[in-house]
Amino acid sequence: MSDKFLDFQENNEPQRFEDFKEPLIFGNEEKIKSINQASSFKGKSILKKDKDKDKTQSKFAVKINVPEDHHSNQNNEQQKEEIKERRKRRPQFKTVKEPAELKNRNLLDLKMDNNDSKNEQNDQQNGEKKFVRKGKRSTTLIEKCKLSQKLLSAEMDIQVNQEKLIIEEKGNPSKKYKPTKMLGSGSFGSVYQAKNTIFQNTVAMKVIKKDPNNELDEQEIKNEIDILKKLSHPNIVKIYEFYISNSHYYIITEFCKEGELFSYIKNKYSENQLAVLFYQVFSGLWYLHDNKILHRDIKLENIMISKKEKDNRTGEELFWVKIIDFGTAKIFEKNKKEKDVVGSSYYIAPEVLKQNYNEKCDTWSVGVILYMMLVGRAPFDGKDDEEIICKINTADYNSKEPRLLKHSPEVRDLVDKLLQKDIDKRYSAKEALNHPWFNKFGGRSLFSNFKREEIEPYINNLFNYSFNSKIQQLVIAFLVHNLPSNDTSIHILKLFRYFNKSGNCKLTKEELMNGLYDYRDKNEVNNCVDHLFTLLDGDNNGYIEYEEFLRACIDKKTILTHTYLKYAFKFLDKEKTGTLNTQKIINAFVLNPNKLLEAVFNNTLNSVDHDGDGIINYEEFQELMLKCMN
């Protein structure tokens, strides 16, 4: 990237309110200082047929004993002739070879060799007969069914891996992304608002310069990327792709157009509005902690407003929010305390300063933010950093603050539970999410802010969800993750959150079933819920995440367009040959491939490989994907 690009609008940094200081970062200031919105962009292989015939019997061959036909009249020639005629009319079957012996061949269409007469004679001498015709050995129906079941089982075991949906590229992203505005900069990098030239949507792009003399910085950047790749939650910023050049890292994420929560601190909000906002924050935190991830820098600047909408009942403005900036995040071990001092002034928990903390340091930070939104100032402030740290260490905030007393006893109790100095007494994210304040003030009201007729089409799509092959499911997963959000996805998100009563965005089978009862007959739901849940759970982890739900509810016509399918085809065709084969698809989507999986994918590709050359072009790929809509 050119220096001109890196210095793009460098003098247009956002202005801060004077009421709050620029947050102080503890630890190595140069390494972990957060920047505003830092994370919110923040040729042909020809299939040859065997010329040499296999002389050996397939391991899958099944012998069937055919008993002699007995009749009351043994000498009846007419009956014998009828038996012979019936045997002639018996169906002819094809045989298969051991899957481990196959490569780039359709497993169910392989033929046995013609020269198996010796094996047939041996079978007949043993009193056993096979269905044969013209010297060819044929697979029995039982064998074919067993093999089909084996392939089907192998296909169902293929998981949709979240990390494989993230695009990794080498070089500079300037051909695909054009910067339009600088959002912030610091010693650790710069953040730009940028335009995707393919889809014409806005993204955020974080640009970090490589330091070859500092391996620790390099590792922290890679750590941020690795953590973002693991996350799939509607209240956590989504990463689309990342680029690595010789001099820079580029992280492309969602753009939250309504800005950071810091910009809204001076406004007054009802407890209903705040309950909706903080319900989402705690939902995101619970998801992080449940996946053993510490954020360690929760603050006003790292909670972004992605969308606003009016409450249909009260007319109030409600916020959709996302947690950003995972530059200091870390995967933690249960029952093991962390020691690195990481965080921002005002928000840092006292146990972090004492270098003995766990994931509840994040809920302390949310407690600080909740107090700020209620009162308009920080619970632990001071004239300088030393005074701020001293107050944080005592954890003695002013619970008698008049502006705090104006609010309900429920929200004051929640603040007190979050700002507990004793970690064992402090609320976890899960406990906070179940606090009575959210029930009383409609913390979940945003998720039911829809009309039934708006949701009905997506319920129909959900009930009709199916796919003909795993390749279709994998490609749809890739498209759903990488395509820009729209009003359709917001309606589906509301439906998903409405079903997910626990609030952790991990939809269980019971929650799915109870949610569907509101829209369909109970018997109909009971008959299909097991099958539907299995189809939706693409990664086989026992619950349904939001993107898995979105894949089923979205109208396939909106994503299986020429533009989007061409985008997916280019993603799979990394060598730019203009064709796809099994190996390319496996490399793109599968972590642990095997021979049986190759056979599954070969079967799928062969169904549209009209010239039988073992590869498919874009038109054949398009034909395969459009079968989803039939």
Residues marked active site are found at: 297
Element (H, E) at 185: strand 177-186
Element (H, E) at 182: strand 177-186
DSSP secondary structure of 279-299: HHHHHHHHHHHHTTEE-----
Give how far the C-alpha of residue 297 lies from the chain's centroid of Cα atoms, to the nearest Å. Answer: 24
* Nearest partner of 348 among 367, 324, 376, 331, judged by Cα: 367
* Nearest partner of 584 among 567, 572, 592, 595, judged by Cα: 572
CB atoms closer than 10 angstroms to residue 464: 9
Q: One-letter amino acid identity for 190?
A: S
Distance CA 464, CA 528 (A): 11
* Nearest partner of 105 among 584, 581, 576, judged by Cα: 581
Give how far the C-alpha of residue 572 lies from the chain's centroid of Cα atoms, to the nearest Å. Answer: 18
Distance CA 538, CA 550 (A): 12
Residue pair 68/106 in contact by the 8 Å Cβ criterion: no
> Token match 């599968």: residue?
590
DSSP secondary structure of 464-478: T---SSHHHHHHHHH
Residue pair 218/189 in contact by the 8 Å Cβ criterion: no
* Nearest partner of 539 among 152, 232, 149, judged by Cα: 232
Number of helices and strands in the chain (H, E): 25, 14
* Nearest partner of 366 among 342, 346, 382, judged by Cα: 346
Token digits for 66? 């055919």
The H-assigned helical ranges of 500-594 are 509-516, 522-536, 546-553, 556-559, 562-572, 582-589
SS3 251: strand
The CA-atom distances, in angstroms, between 504 and each of 294, 304, 499, 515, 612 are 16, 19, 11, 16, 48
Cβ burial of 145 (10 Å; 0-12, 13-18, 19+) is: exposed
402-430 burial, b for 16+ CB within 10 Å, e for fewer? eebeebeebbbebbebbbbeebeebbbbb
The CA-atom distances, in angstroms, between 518 and each of 495, 507, 512, 525 are 11, 16, 11, 10
Distance CA 396, CA 489 (A): 44
Distance CA 362, CA 296 (A): 6
- Phi and psi for 387 in degrees, rounded to 5? -70, -40
> Token match 């497993």: residue?
107
* Nearest partner of 361 among 286, 301, 296, 425, judged by Cα: 296
Distance CA 446, CA 160 (A): 30
Residue pair 96/141 in contact by the 8 Å Cβ criterion: no
